[in-house]
Structures are given as C-alpha cells and as structure tokens.
Amino acid sequence: MAADGFELNAFLPYRLNRAAEFVAVRFAAEYKARYQLTRPEWRTLAALGSSTGAMTATEVGAHSAMHKTKVSRAVAALEDRRWLKRSEDEADRRLEHLELTKAGRLAYGDLTDLASAYQKQLEDLIGAEGLQALSVGLDAVERAIDKAGKHVARP
Amino acid sequence: MAADGFELNAFLPYRLNRAAEFVAVRFAAEYKARYQLTRPEWRTLAALGSSTGAMTATEVGAHSAMHKTKVSRAVAALEDRRWLKRSEDEADRRLEHLELTKAGRLAYGDLTDLASAYQKQLEDLIGAEGLQALSVGLDAVERAIDKAGKHVARP
DNA sequence: AATCGATAGTTACGATTGCAACTAATAGGC
DNA sequence: GCCTATTAGTTGCAATCGTAACTATCGATT
C-alpha cells in the first residue's frame, strides 16, 4: 500500500529507469547484432562521433553518464578495433584526446542510420505530443544536471 | 560531426539513459547508506511496498523493468532479511505470491520518506514546468510500453 | 492420460561491473 | 623550488549481472 502520500508511480528515478531501460534494450540488440558492440562501447563511439572535435575520456564520461572505468575499457576496446585513436595533449600530459578513425566514423555513420530508424519507430509508438513533452522535460533535467555540477554516473 | 541529420543529443535512448542515471545515482547512495540495499533490492521492495496486495516475481520484474534473475536474487535477499515472505499459489504451484512482512513495510515506509524528500529536491532542481512536461512524456512512454507488450529488461 | 509447448522461477558460469588503490602529471600554496 | 592536494586515466579484485540451461508445473492437443 502507498505509505503516507508516497506514490512510487510518480517517483522520478523509478519512472525514468523504466522508460530508459525499455527504449535502450531494443536498440542495444541492434548494434550488438551488427558489430558486437557493448553498451559502453556504443555510447563512447556515439559521443565521439557526434562531437565536432576530439574529446577526453572524462568528457566522454560526463557526456554519456558513464563511470570512468567503463569509459576506459570502452576506449581500449575501440582502439583495438582501430575505430579510435588517442593523442597526447601537449600542455597537459595527463590528458588524452580521443578521435574516431575513418573506420570508426564509417561505423558510426552506419549506426546512426539504425538509430534514426529506431527513433522513428519510437516516435510512432510514443506519439508526437508525448515525444515533444518528453523532450521538454529532458531539457529541464539536463539543465539541472549542469546546474548540479559535473556528475559522472555512480561516482 | 553529426553524420547526415542524426543528432545524438536528440536520440531518445541516449537522453533517457543520461537522465535516469543522474537521478538514480544519488538516491541509490541514500538507501545504500541506510540499509545496504542494492538497486534491485530497493526496486523489488518498492514494487511490493507500493502494491495493494501480493505480487509474483514476474509482476515485479514487469513493473520495475528488471531481468527475472535480478528479481529472483533480490527476492532471496529480502527474504533473508525477513522483509518479505513467499506463499504458494493454491491453484498454480509455479507461482509465488510475494508480500512484505511488517519489518519490510516499516523499512519501506522509512525509505519512502527519503524518496519524498529526494523528489522534492529534484522538483526544485528541475522546476515545476519541466517536471510536468517530463511526467506527460513518461506517461506516453509507459503507454507505449504496454502497447508493445510485456517487456522485461534485456530479455 | 500421454505428449508437447509454454511459463515461473532458480542456478551455474563466464562476462561485465564498480570500488579502491594505483601511476603519472598538474596546480596551488607557501 | 618544494610540499600537498587534485585530476586523468588504468587496473586488481570482489561483487554483480545476464545468458543459457535447468527443474517444476501447467495447459492444450490428441
């Protein structure tokens, strides 16, 4: 029974997790089938692919809400595939600038085609107004994330 | 660079995961500190605590988007704590009806207080309009989930 | 009533994860 | 110029996870 006033179905972490899990699972099956990518690998590829320039591992983690060890391993895996190359920062040698190789950008381009198609499926399923509302809400959450400081997942 | 028309920042799975991860992490720290609960354990407790009657493990999984092995282990852990009791279904002996014990309901009540406080923090951070939009959007996603059939996470 | 397929839940095991500890480098006092 | 604190990224290890296989039961078909 709902203990004094609390409604689980209105509790944001619970609701968001449900929704995120639902939409993630089916798409994960696609890129896994296509390229044997894990989720952290896809997210890292996507972060780099969508960036105009190079990114550091920390930036990838902040952008995709992943723990730094996940990022580290995903970067190593993508490097093994020759989809990504690292370069040292001249001024600060702790930093690594990460960039996709040509092969990496090719794979990313292929996967974005899948992603676009998937997004269209979701739009059909969820409906334009729902999607619009969700987008506005997620904008607000993203502003909140920035406001709350740079938070990586499970710090 | 954005490959022909695809915008990662508009891609729903990516955005939802980011947001879900962000709001989940901080709350997880609270119930972990308080009771050493894992996420699947909290989710199972929450599903049962918010239910008016008993639930089966499958129902818990569907409600909270968890894989059935996660649910199975969380149920066993909660049972070990005496926060939950199982009872056989008379008619179908494959089914187990799960219910919180008095101690379980007590803990749930305590945690819902934390949850309510956390939700208020989120409301302050995200803002009323953003939250409202998010709620409408999540409603639409939830209808889509139902429409798409009973999907458990990572099936 | 015997068989076949489907469903609820558990478990073994290999893969993935996250914490903590580590290396290496920088930044900020003093 | 040194300490000390901080940050970027990696790695060892124990814990957690998901797949696949399993047991047990039910329902439907014949």
* Closest nucleotide to A70: CA versus each C1': C17
Q: What pTM was estimated for this model as a whole?
A: 0.87
Which of A:52-71 have CB within 8 Å of B? 52, 64-65
Residue range B102-110: mean pLDDT, rounded: 97
Distance CA B109, CA B100 (A): 11
Query: If phi over 0 gives left and psi between -120 and 50 gives alpha, with beta otherwise, what is residue B82?
Result: left
Residues in chain A: 155
Output the CA angle B63-B27-B103, nearest 5 degrees. 65
Whether residue B83 lies inside any domain: the answer is yes
List protein-proximal bases of chain D (any atom < 7 A from a CB): 7-12, 16-20, 24-27
* Res B44 pLDDT > 70: yes
**Full DSSP string of A23-64:** HHHHHHHHHHHHH---HHHHHHHHHHHH-SS-B-HHHHHHHH
Q: Number of A:B CB contacts under 8 A?
A: 232
Whether A88 has its CB under 8 Å from any CB of chain B: the answer is no
Whether residue A4 lies inside any domain: the answer is no
Whether residue B61 lies inside any domain: the answer is yes
* Res A152 pLDDT > 70: no
Whether residue A2 lies inside any domain: the answer is no
Q: Token pair for residue A69?
A: 């060890």
Residue range B135-142: mean pLDDT, rounded: 94
Among A21-25, B51-55, B151-155, where is mean pLDDT lowest?
B151-155
Q: Given the DSSP bridges, would you call strands B96-100 and B84-88 parallel, antiparallel or unpaired?
A: antiparallel
* Res B63 pLDDT > 50: yes
pLDDT in tens, A77-89: 999 999 999 999 9
B-chain residues near A122 (CB < 8 A): 12, 144
Q: How many domains does chain A contain in total?
A: 1
pLDDT in tens, A41-55: 999 999 999 999 999
**Full DSSP string of B75-96:** HHHHHHTTSEEEEE-SS-TT-E
Whether A120 has its CB under 8 Å from any CB of chain B: the answer is no
Q: Token pair for residue A121?
A: 């499926």
Output the CA angle A11-A14-A15, nearest 5 degrees. 80
Cross-chain CB nearest to B6 (options A15, A116, A135):
A116
Whether residue B2 lies inside any domain: the answer is no
Q: Token pair for residue A54?
A: 């190079």
Whether residue A3 lies inside any domain: the answer is no
Does the beta-carbon distance from B112 to A4 stay under 8 Å?
yes
Interface test with B, best of A9, A17, A30 (most B CBs within 10 A): A17
Whether residue B129 lies inside any domain: the answer is yes
B21 against B72, higher pLDDT: B72
Q: What is the dihedral of CA B150, B105, A16, A152, to 10 degrees?
A: -130
Chain A residue closest in CA terms to B140: A130
Supply the DSSP symbol for B126.
H
Q: Which domain holds residue B86?
A: 11-147
A-chain residues near B139 (CB < 8 A): 130
pLDDT in tens, A109-123: 999 999 999 999 999
Phi, psi torsion values for A122, nearest 5 degrees: -65, -40
Alpha-carbon distances of A17 from A23, A50, B23, B86, B151, rounded to whole Å = 10, 24, 9, 26, 14
* CATH code of the domain in which A101 resides: 1.10.10.10
pLDDT at residue A3 in the model: 44
Distance CA B126, CA B121 (A): 9
H-type alpha helices, chain A: 12-35, 39-50, 57-64, 68-80, 102-126, 128-147
